[in-house]
Chains A and B, each alone.
Chain A
Amino acid sequence: MLWPRLARNLASRPLTERVAAADEAVAQALAERLRAASRARLGRSLAVRQVDAGSCNGCELEIHMLSGVVYDLERYGLSIVASPRHADVLLVTGPVTRNLAQALAATHAATPDPKWVVALGDCAADGGVFKGSAAVVGGVADVVPVDLLIPGCPPPPARILEGLLALLEAEAEG
């Protein structure tokens, strides 16, 4: 039965864990960039749209974990949204393939300003192991401007969350 379980869960300690605070230096740097770009304040919440630009799906597996009870990204005002038109942040994974570059550019154009682009994972940084392939354009920055890079193959959920929190901090400071 589900109800007794839900009742037990109400009485027990939350499963959600604390995450290390955002890196101060990263947040500062992002805030500088926000000011430099004279972007309007986005408020204390960010809507995130994930774009798979050609990943092996490893990064997506870890992004999925963010929505779960252990990392619960919504407690920070972060949410994953269904359309770039609702998004403040594009969270882009994968080396950008030739077959997806156009869709990524269109998604970026469909995202209202002000917006952030986060390149997630080693492939998104510069193509990763797929760098140099004729089927790959390169990293995310080769197609759309990137504000923040979260390295890893794939980066674990805690590190992804730290990166997104740095964006929230930057907003508060900017």
Chain B
Amino acid sequence: MSALEAVLRRGAAVAGAAPHARLLLDAEGWAALADALAADDGGALLALWPGQRSVHAALLDDAGRMVVASGPAAPGYAALSPARPGALLFERAARDLAGIVAEGAADARPWLDHAEETEWLPAEGPGLHRILVGPIHAGVIEPGQFRFSLQGEAVVRLEVRLGFTHKGTLSLMRGKPPWAAARFAARLSGDSTVAHSAAFALAVEAACGVAAPPRAQALRVLMLEWERVANHLHDWGMICNDAAFAAIHAETGRLREAVLRAADAAFGHRLMMDRVVPGGVAADMSGEGAAALRSAALAVRRAVPGLRRILEQHASLQDRLAGTGVIAAALVRRFAAGGVVGRASGRAFDARLLPSPLPYAALSPRLATRGEGDVAARVAVRIEELHESLRMVTALLDTLPDGPLEAPLPPRAGEGSALIEGFRGECFAWVSLDDGGAIREVFLRDPSWLHWPLLEAAVQGNIVADFPLINTSVNGSCSGCDL
């Protein structure tokens, strides 16, 4: 990221931003950033969001160093999306949230604001027909709208339209003390409640210059990995269910229930919502918690190899999964998409391998990657990660440190950011606190921002009947990026 580094060196570092630097650029500097991103395809654009008459972008270089760049937006700023297509949805959302305008962006249509009638992208050709589904769906899934342009059964173009679950989450967080704002981070995307809570908590702690005690950090990792186990089981089952293979769905459902009950026994909530808070954790693990977690982990570990054999040995199931919904490795790189989606298309990135206040280094998580980029690869990555998470949970239970659960947060101004690997990919949080320690500005980024455009690409050329299967294998969150 040398060209980029040269640009960022021009910026003035904001005092008190931790642990990652934030650099203030002038309009010219921001435009140079856009050019540098176009000239250099290394690194990742994690997120772009609006500030007060300004625009922020979080960038991660290939060595794992993160920096936040800020430029003026009055109300225009140079679009980053021509260089990095992953920026496009962020730019559309920023316009709806704060009225700032990405100049030179390929798409200026509203995203979260549904006041105007939808304008859909064109698709032309002989014999094209269209199907519009959503926001109310046939299955129990989140509300999004999908517009398919089809030639016979083959999908020529899919366009995803979201924003239906836009709740004004970020504006509700502003002005609140961190403990009150944490309830919104916990509800950004219910399936990633631990991950977003942990990212928010670490960002707040960085802004306050405090570190949560070791026991709290260890319990956070325990909950993060337990959340991954629960969700990977769910996704594995749902994918098989969408391929009309009910037996695996039934088994993973039974195991998931055991996992959720163990979470309830250990932490007092099946999804572990509101358990990770700024400063530490809300409560200690219960007395019977360790035994409950161990017993559920053992049940899952015993069952997975058999289920995996069924998955791999049934030609009728493999026929549905293999070669379906391929996401090209080049596209994943260009979007710098993370999580299972990225790793199943050969992008060897996992935020658990980056330096962090969380004790991941001692657990040395093993990276699971595949190169095929199809539904089968995304299932395979999930299964490997399940094993790895169970190993780490057991190791954590063996070595759980004693000590306090929370560190007091001094009410002071500051800025912090954090990157956490949730079950879906990396969850980024950035927070700026005012003099009284209340939230001045905040942004929470779900990995789904980059997965939805890739879903559109994954479906191309597939039959429309395979859409539910492909969609489930990507499993983007609507609420997570509807904000």
Chain B residues whose CB sits within 8 angstroms of the CB of A153 once the complex forms: 273
Once the chains bind, are B136 and A84 in contact (CB under 8 Å)?
yes
Once the chains bind, are A69 and B250 in contact (CB under 8 Å)?
yes
Among A52, A69, A133, point to the contact of B167 (Cβ < 8 A). A133
Q: Give min CB distance, A9 to chain B, whole Å.
A: 9
Once the chains bind, are A56 and B114 in contact (CB under 8 Å)?
no
Bound CA–CA A52/B167 (angstroms): 13
CB within 8 Å for A64 and B168 given contacts A70-B254, A99-B163 = no
Q: Give min CB distance, B263 to chain A, whole Å.
A: 11
Q: Give min CB distance, A99 to chain B, whole Å.
A: 5
Over the window 174-215 of chain B, the binary record of Cβ atoms lying under 8 Å from chain A Cβ atoms (1 yes, 0 no) is 000000000110011111010000000000000000000000
Bound CA–CA A43/B264 (angstroms): 36
Q: Does A11 contact B (CB under 8 A)?
A: no
Q: Does A21 contact B (CB under 8 A)?
A: no
Once the chains bind, are B271 and A100 in contact (CB under 8 Å)?
no
Chain A residues whose CB sits within 8 angstroms of the CB of B169 once the complex forms: 130, 133
Once the chains bind, are A15 and B168 in contact (CB under 8 Å)?
no
Interface size class of B (residues with CB under 8 A): 35 or more
Over the window 238-274 of chain B, the binary record of Cβ atoms lying under 8 Å from chain A Cβ atoms (1 yes, 0 no) is 1000000001001001101100100010000011010
Residue on B nearest A127 in the bound complex, by CB: B167
Once the chains bind, are A65 and B164 in contact (CB under 8 Å)?
no
Once the chains bind, are B172 and A56 in contact (CB under 8 Å)?
no
Residue on B nearest A133 in the bound complex, by CB: B168
Residue on A nearest B193 in the bound complex, by CB: A58
Q: Does A142 contact B (CB under 8 A)?
A: no
Chain A residues whose CB sits within 8 angstroms of the CB of B122 once the complex forms: none
Bound CA–CA A2/B246 (angstroms): 11
Chain B residues whose CB sits within 8 angstroms of the CB of A63 once the complex forms: 140
Once the chains bind, are B143 and A58 in contact (CB under 8 Å)?
no
Q: Give min CB distance, A84 to chain B, whole Å.
A: 7
Residue on A nearest B270 in the bound complex, by CB: A156
Q: Does B471 contact A (CB under 8 A)?
A: no
Q: Does B302 contact A (CB under 8 A)?
A: no
Once the chains bind, are A1 and B309 in contact (CB under 8 Å)?
yes
Over the window 53-88 of chain A, the binary record of Cβ atoms lying under 8 Å from chain B Cβ atoms (1 yes, 0 no) is 111111111111101111000000000101110000
Bound CA–CA A69/B256 (angstroms): 11
CB within 8 Å for A61 and B138 given contacts A2-B314, A68-B254, A136-B167 = no
Contacting residues of chain A (105-135) with chain B, CB-CB under 8 angstroms: 106-107, 129-130, 132-135
Q: Does B394 contact A (CB under 8 A)?
A: no
Bound CA–CA A58/B138 (angstroms): 18
Chain B residues whose CB sits within 8 angstroms of the CB of A65 once the complex forms: 253, 256-257, 260
Bound CA–CA A56/B112 (angstroms): 16
Q: Does A5 contact B (CB under 8 A)?
A: yes
Q: Give min CB distance, A23 to chain B, whole Å.
A: 21
Interface size class of A (residues with CB under 8 A): 35 or more
Q: Give min CB distance, A114 to chain B, whole Å.
A: 20
Chain A residues whose CB sits within 8 angstroms of the CB of B141 once the complex forms: 52, 60
Chain B residues whose CB sits within 8 angstroms of the CB of A54 once the complex forms: 143, 164-167, 479
Chain B residues whose CB sits within 8 angstroms of the CB of A15 once the complex forms: 254
Bound CA–CA A94/B238 (angstroms): 22
Residue on A nearest B172 in the bound complex, by CB: A133
Among B191, B238, B257, B314, point to the contact of A58 (Cβ < 8 A). B191
Q: Give min CB distance, A124 to chain B, whole Å.
A: 13
Once the chains bind, are A57 and B478 in contact (CB under 8 Å)?
yes
Residue on B nearest A4 in the bound complex, by CB: B306
Q: Does B171 contact A (CB under 8 A)?
A: yes
Chain A residues whose CB sits within 8 angstroms of the CB of B254 once the complex forms: 15, 68-70
Q: Does B139 contact A (CB under 8 A)?
A: yes
Among B187, B271, B314, point to the contact of A129 (Cβ < 8 A). B187
Inter-chain pairs besides A99-B165, A133-B168, 20 sampled, C-beta below 8 Å: A1-B309, A5-B247, A6-B247, A50-B140, A52-B140, A52-B142, A54-B143, A55-B165, A56-B188, A56-B190, A57-B189, A58-B191, A58-B193, A58-B273, A60-B140, A64-B238, A64-B253, A133-B172, A154-B271, A156-B264
Q: Residues of B at under 8 Å CB distance from A?
A: 112, 114, 135-136, 138-143, 163-169, 171-172, 183-184, 187-191, 193, 234, 238, 247, 250, 253-254, 256-257, 260, 264, 270-271, 273, 306, 309-310, 313-314, 477-479
Top 9 closest A-B pairs, CB basis? A58-B190, A68-B253, A135-B168, A82-B138, A133-B168, A56-B190, A56-B187, A57-B190, A54-B165
